[in-house]
Homo-oligomer: A and B are copies of this chain.
Amino acid sequence: MTAAAAKPPISLADLAIQFGCELIGDPDATVTHVATLSDAGAGALSFLANPRYGDFLATSAATAVIVRPSDAATDGPSNRLVHADPYATYAAMAQHLYPGPALRAGVHASAYVDSTASVDPSAEVGPGVVIGAGAAVGANCRIGANCVIGDGASLGANSALSPNVTLADSVVLGMRCRVQSGAVIGSDGFGFAPTSDGWRRVPQVGSVQIGDDVDIGANTTIDRGAIGDTVIGDDVKLDNLVQIAHNVRIGAHTAMAAQCGIAGSTVIGERCLFAGHSGAVGHVTICDGVIVNGKTMVTKDITKPGAYGAALPAMPISDYRRVVARIRQLDKLAARVAALVKHREKSS
């Protein structure tokens, strides 16, 4: 069961030329699909990038394997496509083999497009889609079923929304972006002023500006700015269920794994990596090149690139309980040590 049927067979010679690999083996052999080393059979193109899977190479039945030069001659399938970066090369070849379904240009009869919206004739607008006043959908965009695009929102050329995405009013999405189902871009930021009578809503009058080549995961939420915009840089990659609060700014090429949360007005540099369930409090600045470990919360500015962590790893429950008890007693332990030091100083 695959997402998309592969294209006609392609020869290893063609692959090697098109993707800049050295070819070892039969130039006329053809591949039709991709597979992992262990699942591969005839016609499969596979790759070895993570040394963890090195053992699977020797017994793989793949027709061809993309490998590093250092793996060119190890045991395994005789056809090798040799490249310094097998994973990126695999990605490019897989894009070629699986181009995705062709665009069906035009607006589905069940979609509702406001008369003042502009939809490029090359774009595909699926069933049940709603496009608001003054919105703009660029060339070759694909708008999945039941998406809602608000008034004045716009999508650059070659962007794609999976079904059930919401783009709120005035949100700007760049070119070649891909938004997975259920994502919400441009929801109101969480802004309420405390008063003696309770909360008073602070209108969120900014919007969201999203660069080019941005990927946004399923059910991820990006709030519009309170004043001024929330800004997502080019080539940012956000996984599923990520929360980006109002007026956050994220630098180019930064990636965040699932369930990260970035609180309001925090500024994140370029090429940062956030692991799952991590995040940052509001109003902090994180420089370029920062890696944040899983479940770690950044609580103040980070000015030095490098990795940061905080979460304890899972322990068997008896160890865990003892650790928690010990931590709670650290005051007592420190006091005992202080008393010992004092005693030694007196007695020496």
Contact with B along A324-345 (1 / 0, CB 8 A): 1011111101101100110110
Tell me if A334 and B331 are in contact (CB < 8 A).
no
Which residues of chain A from 10 to 35 have a CB within 8 Å of any chain B CB?
Answer: 33-35
Tell me if A39 and B228 are in contact (CB < 8 A).
yes
If A218-B187, A240-B187, A323-B327 touch, whether A148 touches B164 (CB-CB below 8 Å) is yes
| A276 surroundings in chain B (CB, below 8 A) | 243, 261, 263, 279, 281
If A298-B314, A333-B333, A336-B337 touch, whether A164 touches B163 (CB-CB below 8 Å) is no
If A227-B35, A299-B313, A304-B316 touch, whether A1 touches B209 (CB-CB below 8 Å) is yes
Contact with B along A181-207 (1 / 0, CB 8 A): 110101110111111001111111111
If A148-B163, A151-B101 touch, whether A326 touches B316 (CB-CB below 8 Å) is no
Complex: A328 Cα to B330 Cα, angstroms: 11
Which of A73-81, A117-125, A168-176 lies at the binding interface? A168-176
Chain A: interface residue count, which band? 35 or more
Whose C-beta in chain B lies nearest to the C-beta of A263?
A: B276
Tell me if B237 and A217 are in contact (CB < 8 A).
no
Tell me if A205 and B94 are in contact (CB < 8 A).
yes
If A35-B227, A202-B90 touch, whether A344 touches B337 (CB-CB below 8 Å) is no
Asked if A142 is an interface residue, CB under 8 A from chain B, the answer is no
Complex: A327 Cα to B213 Cα, angstroms: 42
Whose C-beta in chain B lies nearest to the C-beta of A133?
A: B101
Contact with B along A252-281 (1 / 0, CB 8 A): 110101110101000000000001110101
Asked if A293 is an interface residue, CB under 8 A from chain B, the answer is yes
Complex: A181 Cα to B97 Cα, angstroms: 34
Tell me if B85 and A195 are in contact (CB < 8 A).
yes
Whose C-beta in chain B lies nearest to the C-beta of A290?
A: B314
Asked if A138 is an interface residue, CB under 8 A from chain B, the answer is no
Complex: A162 Cα to B150 Cα, angstroms: 10
| A166 surroundings in chain B (CB, below 8 A) | 162-164, 181-182, 218
Asked if A2 is an interface residue, CB under 8 A from chain B, the answer is yes
If A148-B164, A281-B294, A326-B334 touch, whether A199 touches B299 (CB-CB below 8 Å) is no
Asked if A102 is an interface residue, CB under 8 A from chain B, the answer is no
Tell me if A145 and B130 are in contact (CB < 8 A).
yes
| Interface CB pairs A-B, < 8 A, 27 | A1-B170, A3-B203, A34-B205, A88-B193, A88-B195, A91-B200, A91-B202, A94-B203, A110-B110, A112-B128, A127-B130, A181-B184, A187-B218, A192-B255, A198-B252, A221-B240, A239-B245, A245-B258, A275-B281, A298-B313, A309-B315, A309-B321, A311-B311, A312-B312, A327-B327, A333-B333, A340-B340
The 7 A-B pairs at the shortest CB distance, nearest first, are namely: A309-B320, A187-B218, A307-B317, A326-B330, A148-B163, A130-B145, A88-B193
4 additional A-B residue pairs with CB within 8 Å, beyond A128-B148, A217-B221, A340-B344: A198-B252, A198-B253, A239-B245, A277-B279
